[in-house]
Amino acid sequence: MAKDKDPLNYVWLDRELLKSCAFRQLTKSSMLVLFLFHGKKRTSRPNSRRPWTVANNGELQFTYREAERTGIPRSSFMRAIDQLTHLGFLFVSKQGSGLKGDCSLYGVSGEWRKYGTQRFKPKPRKKRGEHFRLPKRGGRGIRHVPKSRPPHGSL
């Protein structure tokens, strides 16, 4: 019998990643999410002299619904994404709004190699509400009418 040689059935990881201090800090659900992200990436190599690169880096989609289908609760998925971005395994290239069709896009990062050194700068994920701001109303309701304007109906 011939072995299955389909490249889509494999997840390639660096041995350096598995032995790193940052990887040892990951929780079980964060490891699972990291492996699923590595399964989504597509690598390419223009020729044999160049190193492998991620062809769809910054375009990886992983929605909360998809995480729930794989058995990861929403809260665990959110904490895993936070931990993976904090330790330098992932970066958020586009923050989604949570509406239908507007999901976050992620990329696989190599910043985890700098973890534990002075060159490591954690880049936490923006929390909900930080990527867009509603204008402040000054504590007044929407129907507030300034006092300088005459009341309605008086001429």
pLDDT attached to residue 69: 92
pTM across the whole model: 0.70
Nearest to 58 by CA among 74, 37, 73, 28: 37
pLDDT attached to residue 33: 92
Domain annotation for the chain: domains and CATH numbers: 12-44+53-114 (1.10.10.10)
pLDDT attached to residue 81: 93
What is the DSSP secondary-structure string of 2-60? PPP--GGG-----HHHHHSHHHHT--HHHHHHHHHHHHH--EE-SSTTSPPEETTTT-E
Average pLDDT of each block of 10 consecutive residues along the chain (155 residues)?
58 85 92 88 75 75 89 92 91 79 84 87 67 54 59 63
pLDDT attached to residue 147: 61
